[in-house]
Chains A and B, each alone.
Chain A
């Protein structure tokens, strides 16, 4: 039956396309873009942590302490974020 063979062939072609698409999805869309993203995010986390510490210090009048604590929290947040991105890339 010619109709049947066409259907099976269509099915095979569709599966192939699906596999190809899945494979493409796994590829990082743009590695250079990811590199830019990670590097700036690491810096931005530290900056935001420091800014929050500075503002809290000003409002509570605990001059050097909160800025120090939040600086390190910012560093931790930045590193955790890079870890998360790296994990997502390996998926």
Chain B
């Protein structure tokens, strides 16, 4: 068994090597876990919406609860104008949540602990929101960078600052999810290693720590998916209802 705590983040190829020109598009363990979480989501919602009984079964309850949760989140943060984007935010939330949760099972791979995955999601959101903003407001969307009631002297500085804060959105969005998942999983592995190295006498303390950390990590896995989705809603709100 590998004692290196970073070993769990290694991406390796499964099956044959596939190349598209210069780009390696082989099926890896990361792709496997993305496929697994997507299939799990489809399964839960297919089974959950199959039989619309008045007294819901457990799986139907899960599907309905997550629907209400995301629906309430969107209407609270982005208003009724954001209703058409429900399906996008819902699938985003479920995908991140399921990837995080699958990573909590021992011997699995956490897809969201790789910055390229989270950055791709964040960049997609960023570009999409920018396009939506320009479609809804035309060139007036640039008013987002010019807050009202600022003296003329300070305006150039404020505009630069606003542009920096707009561009930092995809970075903060992706780094947050990636860093939380990676740090948590590394810490769990390190404490697991302490249990082995301290043996049966001293190993109980890190073991209890590991148990506590597992609970915390499940909380973080849910919370990060929630934060990811709610920030998408906030950015969408900025694009749909221009305040400045």
Given contacts A37-B231, A43-B172, A47-B171, contact A30 B223 (CB under 8 A): yes
The answer to whether A33 touches B226 (Cβ under 8 A) is: yes
Interface residues on A, range: 20 to 34
Give a binary string over B156-179; 1 marks a CB under 8 Å from any A CB, 0 the rest.
010011101101110110011001
Separation of A36 and B184 alpha carbons in the complex (Å) = 14
Number of interface residues of B (CB under 8 A): 22
Separation of A49 and B224 alpha carbons in the complex (Å) = 25
Separation of A32 and B221 alpha carbons in the complex (Å) = 12
- Answer yes or no: B180 CB below 8 A from chain A CBs: yes
Majority DSSP secondary structure for residues of A touching B: helix
- Answer yes or no: A40 CB below 8 A from chain B CBs: yes
- Answer yes or no: B230 CB below 8 A from chain A CBs: yes
Residues of chain A within 8 A (CB-CB) of B168 are 41, 44-45, 47-48, 77
CB-nearest residue of chain A to B161:
A77
The answer to whether A33 touches B223 (Cβ under 8 A) is: yes
* Among B160, B161, B165, B223, contact of A36 (Cβ-Cβ < 8 Å): B223
Residues of chain A within 8 A (CB-CB) of B160 are 73, 77
Interface pairs (22), CB distance under 8 Å: A29-B76, A32-B223, A33-B226, A33-B230, A36-B176, A36-B180, A37-B172, A37-B176, A37-B227, A40-B179, A41-B172, A44-B172, A45-B164, A45-B168, A45-B172, A47-B168, A74-B164, A77-B161, A77-B165, A77-B168, A80-B161, A80-B165
Q: Which B residues contact A (CB, under 8 angstroms)?
A: 76, 157, 160-162, 164-165, 167-169, 171-172, 175-176, 179-180, 223-224, 226-227, 230-231
Q: Which 9 A-B pairs have the closest CB atoms?
A: A44-B172, A44-B168, A40-B176, A48-B168, A77-B161, A44-B171, A77-B164, A33-B227, A41-B172
Q: Which A residues contact B (CB, under 8 angstroms)?
A: 25, 29-30, 32-33, 36-37, 40-41, 43-45, 47-49, 52, 70, 73-74, 76-77, 80-81
